[in-house]
Structure 1
């Protein structure tokens, strides 16, 4: 994959081996006619090698993913020993500007891939990414966070049965690897159909930056680059403190009552069936409902919202591990 020493032409710009360049992923202006620059930062070594793409901000409110890619750039980790590293810190710049998950047209970018040249704004962004960037890359690491109020433990999501993705996930070294199906019209599914290996990182929650999540994303990226012999020699790839847990299946614990909610268990914890996970109370001191674990497993998501309604997801717990990981 991508090992020939040659000029790279991407988004109508040419980048020679050993060159650094910031190109513009331009799709549309704001409604004020103000132009919107979506920077694509490209760093090439003089030595030939693979091309790795780091992406974040497919959802405009997932700031922690943006922070991870920002740190890769700010620290110079994106300057490869060999090959090429492309960073797109904010794909959905329109949502990022407005602090919204979706595009101004109300569409979720991660549900319109591979996009259309003449479709909606979100669809046009997807089309440009798939047709003008993805053909040039060999590996993709895409950073996401949990939804509003729901904090995800750092985790990699891959489909079951793909040996290469499983190896890359293990090398990345996040605390958990979740087997999950590729969603129709998602970025991940589109890349899979194009035979472009993509590992999806989830960690933290929207509108929030967490140091532990950020460090997990940055350190995992360094491990991947080290594995590909692309990590700049001035950086070291750390060994994960714990071996990652591969989760075959999981389920949500949902609120049986509406009220004020407080979790009593920390993310990443291993719990036993019947353990106390949290409390749902009312403002008047009359209610105190104990939320307990319905099965033994690892806590991989905690709802940090202080107010919940009946049926809201409170905790995500593993139910079946892959012991052959």
Structure 2
């Protein structure tokens, strides 16, 4: 008697399109029309594997000037074959299409798209885009990775922000392998908050600077996304160095300028600091020192400004306090890093 062949996977439906198993399809989900009458669409690539597995999404450019994630997604997709892929991946490289085309963080009405979820099909432009993303992408998935960079004139150490108290989220955050995992509260209106309400497991990746292709941020993002897909058994084991055990933080804060002036920062991403360590200084236009910049807490530098001119109160250095960190001078305490090679084998130049 002939063996029964397993039933083929069903086609995957998104918008008005059906994607057959073992195939990849690029589609545009209609958002609105431009003043010219041209259609503006949300770009999605569906990788519908031949074999069963989870349904996952990865997105970038919710803020239109955050371009690192767009390149991360391009490089990840270049490694995937729907013939061997297990499960389904929905890749949305540009969520804020208006902002991306203009090189702007926000939408034309200055709304922050990442404060507009879950949105409404009858709301503002931001609300309509958010609703479309939730309805056609997030609602179909069980896991999502939201890719970000620092905001204008700020740069971030590769880091995962997530609910580290949820076991599955924690496991996937560890699989990603970023130098730091930050337990982050949900923000009202964010994609992560809205997706969590649907039951999805969400990781938020932060790395690099807006409007720049920081290669170290891109490479860490590509490796991390592929490791998450591997942990979900959607791809075969990724060749390369295993992930470094990320440091865990549950509290962080920005050190702010005490004076208006020209800032000269010595602090580097990934650097270990102790309370009162000198991180730079503020001077006037003649070079006279106005105030030193000193650490107000012990931890690791996970973000810093790239702006040379600052006003009093501007954010300068973001320091994450490390869970379980030992006092300096103890035998097992990690050494300070000039970049963040000791935390993730990635060096900022």
TM-score scaled by length of structure 2: 0.87
Counterparts of 2:168 and 2:324, CA distance in 1: 16
Counterparts of 1:223 and 1:285, CA distance in 2: 48
Residue 137 (structure 1) aligned with residue 137 (structure 2): no
Q: Which residue of structure 2 lines up, in the alignment, with residue 287 of structure 1?
A: 289
SS, match of residue 189 in structure 1: helix
Counterparts of 1:237 and 1:52, CA distance in 2: 23
Q: Which residue of structure 1 lines up, in the alignment, with residue 80 of structure 2?
A: 77
Equivalent of 2:249 in 247, 250, 254: 247
Equivalent of 2:53 in 49, 56, 61: 49
Runs of 4+ in 1 over 3 A off after TM superposition: 77-80
Structure 1 residue 276, shift from structure 2 partner: 1.3
Contact map agreement 1:4 1:48 (CA 8 A) in 2: no
Q: Which residue of structure 1 lines up, in the alignment, with residue 94 of structure 2?
A: 90
Q: Deviations over 1:244-302 (max 9, x none)?
A: 00101111111001111121021001012221101111111233522111222111111
Q: Which residue of structure 2 lines up, in the alignment, with residue 265 of structure 1?
A: 267
Contact map agreement 2:258 2:291 (CA 8 A) in 1: no
Counterparts of 1:318 and 1:113, CA distance in 2: 27
Equivalent of 1:25 in 26, 29, 46: 29
Contact map agreement 1:222 1:236 (CA 8 A) in 2: no
Paired residues for 1:4-15 under 5 Å? 5-15=9-19
Q: Which residue of structure 2 lines up, in the alignment, with residue 311 of structure 1?
A: 313
5+ residue gaps, structure 2, are 1-6, 326-349
Specify whether residues 190 and 110 from structure 1 end up closer, same or farther in structure 2 by C-alpha distance, changes over 3 A only: same
Structure 1 residue 34, shift from structure 2 partner: 2.1
Structure 1 residue 320, shift from structure 2 partner: 4.7
Question: Which deviates the most, 252-261 or 38-47?
Answer: 38-47
Contact map agreement 2:269 2:303 (CA 8 A) in 1: yes
Q: Which residue of structure 2 lines up, in the alignment, with residue 226 of structure 1?
A: 230
Q: Deviations over 1:102-151 (max 9, x none)?
A: 11122111111111111111110111111122222121111011111111
Q: Which residue of structure 2 lines up, in the alignment, with residue 67 of structure 1?
A: 71
Counterparts of 1:322 and 1:33, CA distance in 2: 57
Aligned-CA RMSD value: 1.8
Structure showing greater Rg: 2
Contact map agreement 1:8 1:15 (CA 8 A) in 2: yes
Q: Deviations over 1:68-91 (max 9, x none)?
A: 112212x22374521111111001
Counterparts of 1:244 and 1:222, CA distance in 2: 17
Q: Which residue of structure 1 lines up, in the alignment, with residue 331 of structure 2?
A: none
Q: Which residue of structure 1 lines up, in the alignment, with residue 241 of structure 2?
A: 238
Counterparts of 2:81 and 2:62, CA distance in 1: 20
Structure 1 residue 160, shift from structure 2 partner: 4.3
5+ residue gaps, structure 1, are none
Q: Number of matched residues?
A: 318
TM-score scaled by length of structure 1: 0.93
Structure 1 residue 243, shift from structure 2 partner: 1.6
Q: Which residue of structure 1 lines up, in the alignment, with residue 343 of structure 2?
A: none
Q: Which residue of structure 1 lines up, in the alignment, with residue 201 of structure 2?
A: 197
Counterparts of 1:43 and 1:107, CA distance in 2: 31
